[in-house]
Amino acid sequence: MRPCCKRYPGARFNRLTGCVMAAILLSTAALVHAEQAFPFKPVRLIVPFAAGGGTDLIARTVGDAMSRDLGQAVIVENKPGGGTVIGSEAVAKSAPDGYTLLIATFAHAANPALVARLPYVTEKAFAPVALIGSSPNVLVVRADKPWKSVSEVVAAARASPGKFSFGSQGNGTSAHLAGALFENLARVELIHVPYKGAGPAITDLLGGQIDMMFATVSAVSQLIESGKLRGLAVTTTDRSPALAGVPTLAEAGVAGYAAESWYGIYVAAGTPREVIARLNLSIRRAVQTEAFRKRIGDEGLVANVGTPEDLDRYVRGEEARWRRLIKEEHISID
C-alpha cells in the first residue's frame, strides 16, 4: 500500500520542502532572466515589403549598425503582402518584449483609412520607438514633354480635364496619394494608373504610356541626371539635398502642398519603456554611422531621429491629414 502523509509525517515534510525549493529555484531563474540586460538574444526587424526595395535597404543598413551597437544580431525578415498589412500584423501580434520590430512607412498612416478591416487597431497595437527619417517624391515627366514647370502641367491639365495620366507603384502608395493631393490642391483632374511596383511604372513613363509620376528620388535621380526624365518639383516642404536645383511644389505654385515618404520603427504595444528607450538609443547611433549616411545620400533621405513621442505625434498627424484627403477624393485601394 502507498504510504500516506499522516502515517509518515517525514514524507510530507520532504514533499513540502521539495515544492518550496522548486518554487524558489523557479523564482530565482525568472528574476535572473528579468534582470538580464536587453537584448540577450537576436532581434527581428520585419520589413513589410519584398527584398531589394528602398525600405528593405534602409532596414538592412539600420539593422547592421544596430547589431553592432546592441551586441546581438538584428535579423531582417521580409513579410510582403496586403499593402504592408501582413508584416505589420506579425509585429502587432508578437510578444511585447522588444525582440520583434517593424519598419513602418507611409502606408502605416494611410492604411487605417484605406483598408476597411485591418486585423489590428493601429493606434492600440503598436508602440512607437523612433522615426528614422523622411524623403520626398519628385514629380517627373519625360524630357521630351513640352512642360518645363509645374505651372505648365497645371495649365495643360486644366485645359484638358481627364486627358493626362500619372502612374504609381500601386493604389494607396505614397506616389498615388501624392498625385491625389496634387489634383486636390491644384484643382486638376488626372487619370491614376497603378502598377505593381515602381519599376513597371517608370518603364511606361519612359515609353510614353503615362504622362507623369510622383516617384522616389532614388528611383529616378539617375534618369534625371542622364536627361531621360525632367524633375519638376519635389513633394516635401523643403528642397531635397539630392535634387537641390528642383523646387518644391509649394514653391512651384501649388500652395499648401506637402507630402513625404518616411521610415519609422515600432514594436508591439505593451513593450517595457526601458526596452523602447534602449532601442531608440541604438537607432540614434545607427543613423550616425558612415554606412547609413551614404545610404541616405542615395535615397534623398533626411535623418530625423527623435523620441518615441515625436514619432507618435508625427504619424497621428499624417494619419489625420491623409484620412481627410482619402475621404474627399473617394480614394479606394480596391
pLDDT band at 303 (very low <50, low <70, confident <90, very high): confident
> Out of 3.40.50.2020, 3.40.190.10, 3.40.1390.10, 3.40.50.1220, which CATH number does the structure's domain 137-243 have?
3.40.190.10
Asked if the model's pLDDT at residue 200 lies above 80, the reply is: yes
How far is 176 from 297, CA to CA, in rounded Å?
A: 24
**Mean pLDDT, rounded, for 128-141:** 93
| Helical pair 217-225 and 290-299, crossing angle rounded to 10 deg | 70
Laid out side by side, the sheet with 302-303 consists of 74-78, 43-47, 100-104, 261-268, 126-135, 302-303
Q: Evaluate whether 43-135+260-329 and 137-243 have a shared fold.
A: yes
* Phi, psi dihedral angles at 76 (to 5 degrees): -80, 130
Residue 60 CB neighbour total at 10 angstroms: 18
Half-sphere exposure of 311 (CA within 13 A, CB side): 30
- pLDDT at residue 111, rounded to an integer: 92
Asked if the model's pLDDT at residue 319 lies above 70, the reply is: yes
pLDDT tens string 66-112: 999 999 999 999 998 888 899 999 999 999 999 999 999 888 999 99
| Domain locations in the chain as residue ranges | 43-135+260-329, 137-243
How far is 264 from 170, CA to CA, in rounded Å?
A: 21
pLDDT tens string 237-296: 988 888 888 999 999 999 999 998 899 999 999 999 999 999 999 999 999 998 888 877
Residue in this structure with the C-alpha cell 547611433, named with its chain if needed? 285
pLDDT band at 34 (very low <50, low <70, confident <90, very high): very low
How far is 185 from 157, CA to CA, in rounded Å?
A: 13
Class of domain 43-135+260-329: alpha beta
